[in-house]
Amino acid sequence: MKHQEVLSMGPVTGIKNKGMIPENPPTLPVKDLLGQPDIRFSPIADDMTGRIRLWIVRKESFSDYLSDRHRSGEQKAQVLLEDIRLLETALDAFHHLPEEGRLVFFLHPESMAHVDFSESLRTTLKNKKVSSRRILLGIHEEDLDTLTDMSSSALFIHTERGTGLCICGGAGNGLSLLRLAGLQPDLFLLESSAFQQHVSGQDHAALMVGLLSDACRRIQCVLGVIHIHKIKDRRYFKELGFSLMQGAAIAPESSLPSLHHIEENGGGSSREWSVFPGSQGSGVGYLASPGITALVSDTVEEISRILKNRSPTDSICLLKEKRPVGLLMRYHLDRHLSSPYGNALFLKKSVARIMDTEPVIRDAGTPLDEVARAAMSRSAERLYDDILITENGLYKGTVSIRSLLDVMARIQVETARGANPLTGLPGNTSIEKNMAEYRQNQVRMSLIYADLDHFKAYNDCFGFEAGDRMLMFTSRLIRESASICCGKNTFIGHVGGDDFVIFTHPAEAESFAKDLTEKFERETQVLYPDGIRNQGFFQGKSRDGTVCPFPMVSISLGIVDCQFHPGMDSSQLSLRVAQIKGYAKSRKGNSWVRDRRQISAPGESILDKGVV
């Protein structure tokens, strides 16, 4: 199984705008076509952290001017030569970044189909001393149909060398989910403008994204959105559940990629990109929409004008000093005014006379199941009224019953099929099934058990929203380290809470552990407020309730090598994993420990220890 953790993409190179290709392409000398490439890097950021680890190379390649009907053998070779030279120039500017940096390089279809491409790519990466796992080869969905001489299996010839595969498109009729599953890309980039033209309304958009997300999750493909050039589009796609984005509203292009590009030049303010105050956990806050508000002192007539021509299911929240004190649904307003003498009785009166003075009001951090229980316990006439959401006591927005039930149903589906509803990683059912396949096929794997230290104290100190963010962030770091250090048969599972398991080839286990522990030490700093980050510890409660200082949350990894076979004793594996994990947790900081004894063979334990 594949586990690629990448961020999203922007304008791409080598993709033909078919409406702009001339009937008779210009005949230009090769030396003019192959000038020094003027490339730009389009950064892609994670909306949860504001961090960038993925860039797309952008250049108007001369390949775009060659129509399908006018390519000679020499021109096809020129296309490949141009793309390789562009890649070389990009790698010169890219190689200085840390190992987590990844490059999405979009190719002309002729380049990928060329018989010499695979060897040219291998040689280029070797000469530039860049690992193939830091490269994703990109193809536009429209160009998939033009590869008449290249089957889907040919795509895997290149990706089997270690590079990833990225497909970019609008997820319209041109790319079926079945075809997506067959290609099994590591990254799918949704073109925002094409997608918005294809869908008709927010509900349709949510349905399409749900289907696409489900398909991507099944093949372990990361989903991102590109061309986010306006703040309103950023909010739109964030409400649809996207966190991986590219565009002018996220971060500008540059001639040199930088890890800290977003903090310096991001499309939003620094406060908007701050992770810690945000809300992206399992709390109900991320479902809230701005809604309609008015003052509790307004008259019914004024409220009636505001709600005129709106849907019967729309609502208005009544505020007093920015705090919600009441709710009025449109259908309740209509019921009052349509009653005998309703206009005479209510129009000139304060809306407080007819509003619901006891609506369901919950803080943004309240768990979804708790909100659902409160909503469903109301009387029949108020059962479908909106829910009011606050943050620090002030009005934040409203949540409709429909959106709440949709999310709850999605969580139930995820749980039923064995996925962790928070991280989306396979849960215990899938882990057991995977281990059964290992035993049956008698494979040799390393089991890496990951556990967070001081997580309970962190969760109690900063709240479960912050705890959820920590778990989601950890799952992303695990995926990212696996994509860089491990092969495509690596399996990642979420046991529950702060416990994760990774199955990978024994030769890849230590490089994964080193990469993850170093990355966790460096990257999780964004999950603390500035004051806590500067002092290096936080105050929390110990198990006996005593308030005391705790170090920053760290990760401990225990590695056990396993030769699986049908008669393997799972209890022996569990005991060994518990022992080695306990040893790792006894060490301070982010650490990993490896037990080299194979489960199937006796022997003394040889421990390899690593501490960041």
pLDDT, tens digit (0-9, with 9 covering 90-100), for 417-476: 667 777 878 888 888 888 888 988 898 999 999 999 999 999 888 888 888 889 988 988
**Angle at the Cα of 235 from the Cα atoms of 239 and 294, rounded to 5 degrees:** 90
At 295 the pLDDT is 93
pTM of the model: 0.52
C-alpha span between 482 and 5 (Å, rounded):
8
Q: In what order do the strands lie in the sheet with 394-399?
A: 361-363, 387-391, 394-399
> 487 pLDDT band (50/70/90 cuts)?
confident
Give the per-residue pLDDT at 146.
59
> Tokens standing for 342?
């309703």
Answer with the residue of higher pLDDT: 101 or 129.
129
Place of tokens 């940096």: 101
Q: What is the DSSP letter of 201?
A: S
Q: Which of 67-81, 157-171, 557-571 has the highest mean pLDDT?
A: 557-571
d(CA 22, CA 498): 57
Q: Residue 396: phi, psi to the nearest 5? A: -115, -40
Higher pLDDT, 142 or 498: 498
Q: Return left, alpha or beta for 72; rule: phi > 0 is left, psi -120 to 50 is alpha, else beta.
A: beta
Residue 153 has pLDDT above 70, yes or no: no
Looking at the predicted structure, is the pLDDT value of residue 213 above 80?
no
Q: What would the two tokens of residue 88 be? A: 């070389």
Backbone angles phi, psi at 536, to 5 degrees: 85, 10
C-alpha to C-alpha distances, 449 to 23, 169, 477, 521, nearest whole angstrom: 59, 37, 14, 18
Say which range, 33-42, 53-62, 341-350, 565-574, has the weakest mean pLDDT: 33-42
Answer whether residue 35 shows pLDDT above 60.
Answer: no
Which residues have a Cβ under 8 Å from the Cβ of 404 and sit 6 or more positions away?
Answer: 284, 287, 368, 371, 372, 375, 387
Rounded average pLDDT over 369-387: 86
Predicted local confidence at residue 181, as pLDDT: 65
- pLDDT category, 605, cuts 50, 70, 90? very low
DSSP letter assigned to residue 275: S
12/2 Cα distance (integer angstroms)? 24
27 pLDDT above the threshold of 70: no
- Strand order from edge to edge, sheet including 315-320: 293-295, 315-320, 323-329
d(CA 473, CA 463): 16
As a whole number, mean pLDDT of residues 553-563 equals: 92
Q: Pairing mode, if any, of strands 40-46 and 187-191?
A: unpaired
Mean pLDDT of the chain: 76
> How many residues are given for the chain?
612
The pLDDT confidence band at residue 592, using thresholds 50, 70 and 90, is very high
Residues 584-607, mean pLDDT to the nearest whole number: 70
Q: Parallel, antiparallel, or unpaired: how do β-strands 394-399 and 547-551 relate?
A: unpaired
The Cβ-side half-sphere exposure at 268, using a 13 Å CA radius, reads 20
Distance CA 325, CA 330 (A): 17
Question: In 3-state terms, what secondary structure has residue 298?
Answer: coil
Q: Phi-psi category of 536—alpha, beta or left, where left has phi over 0 and alpha has psi -120 to 50?
A: left
Question: Considering only 120-129, 193-202, 351-360, which range has the smallest mean pLDDT?
Answer: 193-202
Quote the CA–CA distance of 253 and 134 in Å, as a whole number.
20
Mean pLDDT, to the nearest integer, of 228-236?
85
What phi and psi, each to the nearest 5 degrees, are found at residue 426? -55, 140
Share of the chain above pLDDT 90, in %: 19
Q: How far is CA 219 from CA 31, 185, 344, 413, 491, in A?
A: 43, 8, 62, 17, 12
Determine the average pLDDT of the residues in 378-402. 90
